[in-house]
Homo-oligomer: A and B are copies of this chain.
Amino acid sequence: MKIPMTKLTVVSESLLREELLKMMRQAGAKGFTITQADGEGSRGVRATEWEGPNTRIETIVSPSVADRILDQLANRYFEDYAVIAWMSDVTVWRAKKFQD
């Protein structure tokens, strides 16, 4: 039941939420934990790109699904949108839900 997996966190402007969830689902992600977040840049004021509420999406996936999602993010979003992503190693229980 203890399985090492990858947790991918994506923070973006809220408008992208449904689009990103769809893309991540198509890449193989099977469940998401979504929280509302604020973003703030280095100038102490919200940068234009961060205006309005942000969405923080977490998904736990295999390394290969993580790579697929990150390729999509890099190709389609990183240039033009306020999207950031990071991943970390986690150990999961009830992993069946998350496996691809």
Which A residues fall within an 8 A CB radius of B?
A: 1, 5, 7, 11, 21-22, 25, 29-42, 44, 54, 56, 60, 70, 73-74, 78, 83-94, 97-98
Contact = CB atoms under 8 A, between A and B. Distances in A.
Contacts of A98: 84
Contacts of A25: 42, 44
A36 B38 CA distance: 9
A87 B88 contact: no
Q: How many copies does the complex hold?
A: 3
A34 B39 contact: yes
Nearest to A60: B86
Contacts of A5: 86
A25 to B, nearest CB: 6
A35 to B, nearest CB: 5
A7 B85 CA distance: 12
Contact of A37 (B1, B33, B70): B33
